[in-house]
């Protein structure tokens, strides 16, 4: 549908490798060689509390030479992308369109509209200690 988003599911062991500067440099350098688009990278980790049935995540956002951390919080599915969009909006790095009903445009819509490549990965089934 023309979405500029690359998603993949990764295991928690692989996640540690993704956080290396070499990996991020590779992604950003690859993007610069192939396109003039800006790149937004979101790397998240998810833990499921099997006793209570809740899911939690934490994430790191890389955008315009900045690293922004999303703290450990409740959420499942692609909630980490929504929270990343809110955080970038709060910091003034992006301007999400606000709707009359109180909602706002999603991060992937913003990226598509503004020619930003969104790369989003989530490591599922992590241990709780890896999220803090």
pLDDT at 2: 39
Query: How many Å apart are CA 43 and CA 55, to the nearest integer?
Result: 16
Instruction: Output 27-32 pairs: Cβ under 8 A, ≥24 positions apart.
Output: 27/119, 28/62, 31/117
Between strands 54-63 and 66-74, the pairing is antiparallel
pLDDT at 55: 92
- Residue count of the chain, please give it: 132
Query: How many Å apart are CA 67 and CA 40, to the nearest integer?
Result: 10
pLDDT at 66: 86
The pLDDT averaged over each successive group of 10 residues in the chain (132 residues) is 44 55 59 66 89 91 88 91 94 93 92 90 82 72
pLDDT at 1: 37
Query: How many Å apart are CA 45 and CA 29, to the nearest integer?
Result: 24
pLDDT at 33: 54
């Amino acid at each position: 549908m023309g979405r500029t988003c690359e998603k993949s599911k990764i295991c928690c062991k692989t996640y540690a490798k993704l956080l290396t500067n070499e990996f991020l440099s590779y992604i950003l350098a690859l993007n610069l060689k192939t396109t003039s688009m800006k790149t937004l990278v979101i790397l998240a980790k998810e833990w499921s509390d099997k006793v209570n049935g809740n899911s939690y995540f934490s994430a790191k956002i890389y955008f315009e030479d900045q690293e922004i951390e999303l703290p450990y919080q409740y959420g499942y599915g692609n909630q980490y992308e929504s929270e990343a969009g809110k955080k970038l909006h709060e910091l003034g790095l992006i301007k999400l369109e606000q709707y009359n009903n109180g909602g706002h445009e999603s991060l992937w819509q913003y990226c598509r509209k503004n020619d930003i490549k969104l790369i989003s990965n989530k490591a599922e089934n992590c241990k709780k200690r890896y999220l803090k």
